[in-house]
């Protein structure tokens, strides 16, 4: 299989790999169709579960790989992680201030409560942002094959795409289920859930084409996405999951989400 892939253009390989990761996101989002009715207890738990997934992904999928990349580039490992992480949080803080100024009739019309609409928009925005550097990382891995090809590096790029794809399954669920929680139809919840992964093929092609320019920026981009996700979890996801009073249940649900994503990331890392 590896040999047959070696005959393909690296940019095409990057596109095909991230079409797979996008499909995994869609698979996770499709779990929303198994929810027949918006039971508040279940959906509060699922929102907290999404928070746990995001916390784990922010470290094992984003910060840790970014630190490893920085070390390989000869940069102080803490620098991109610290700078990118804080910039990601500051950027989401800015978005958090600007979003209420936008006419809320322009998006998520099915969600009547403005607070819930704002939280949902922030959640989708942060997870979509998180998928951009992941797509870039896959693109860089395949794009680098054009100048330094080996079956080992090709196998590593394939393994990276496979790992990211499997990790994307709970992330797709983490978008679609909270949307269903707020009263959106299952079809629209699925659409927005899979849409969060659509940026990966686009960013992968960019990464493969501009590998020389993109690779030095990846540690910062990964850390930036991690900071954005933690901001949303701390400000929106955890308070939102507990606003109906299911504090102990949602706390355990968050921990289960963290463990599930941690196992996936470490096992596939």
pLDDT at 201: 93
Predicted confidence (pLDDT) per residue in 117-146, tens digit:
878 888 888 888 888 888 888 888 888 777
pTM for this structure? 0.77
What phi-psi label fits residue 74: left (phi over 0), alpha (psi between -120 and 50 degrees) or beta? left
pLDDT tier for residue 263 given thresholds of 50, 70 and 90: confident
Of the candidates 62, 128, 64, 65, the residue with the CA atom closest to the CA atom of residue 95: 128
Contacts of 189 (CB under 8 A, 6+ apart): 29, 32, 176, 177, 179, 180
The stretch 58-66 carries a mean pLDDT of 86
* Least confident segment among 10-19, 68-77, 166-175: 166-175
- 245 torsion bin: left (phi>0), alpha (psi -120 to 50), beta (else): left
Give the Cα separation of 269 and 266 in Å (integer). 5
Residue 81 binned pLDDT confidence (cut-offs 50, 70, 90)? very high
């Amino acid at each position: 299989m590896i040999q047959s892939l070696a005959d393909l253009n690296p940019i095409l390989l990057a596109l095909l790999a991230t079409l797979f990761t996008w499909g995994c996101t869609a698979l996770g989002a499709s779990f929303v169709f198994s929810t027949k009715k918006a039971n508040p207890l279940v959906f509060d738990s699922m929102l907290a579960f999404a928070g746990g997934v995001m916390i784990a992904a922010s470290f094992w999928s984003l910060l840790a790989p970014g630190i490893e990349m920085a070390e390989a580039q000869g940069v102080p490992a803490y620098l991109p992680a610290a700078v990118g992480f804080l910039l990601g949080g500051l950027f989401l803080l800015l978005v958090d201030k600007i979003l209420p100024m936008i006419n809320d009739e322009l998006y998520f019309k099915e969600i009547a409560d403005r607070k819930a609409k704002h939280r949902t928009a922030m959640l989708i925005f942060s997870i979509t942002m998180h998928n951009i550097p992941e797509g870039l990382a896959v693109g860089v891995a395949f794009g680098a094959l054009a100048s330094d090809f080996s079956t080992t590096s090709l196998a590593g790029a394939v393994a990276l795409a496979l790992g990211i794809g499997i990790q994307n399954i709970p992330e797709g669920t983490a978008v679609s289920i909270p949307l269903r929680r707020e009263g959106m139809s299952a079809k629209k919840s699925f659409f927005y859930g899979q849409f969060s992964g659509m940026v990966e093929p686009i960013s992968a092609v960019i990464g493969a084409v501009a590998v020389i320019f993109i690779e030095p920026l990846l540690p910062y981009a990964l850390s930036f996405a991690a900071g954005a996700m933690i901001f949303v979890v701390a400000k929106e996801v955890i308070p939102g999951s507990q606003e109906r009073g299911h504090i102990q249940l949602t706390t355990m649900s968050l921990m289960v989400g963290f463990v599930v994503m941690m196992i996936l990331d470490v096992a596939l890392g």
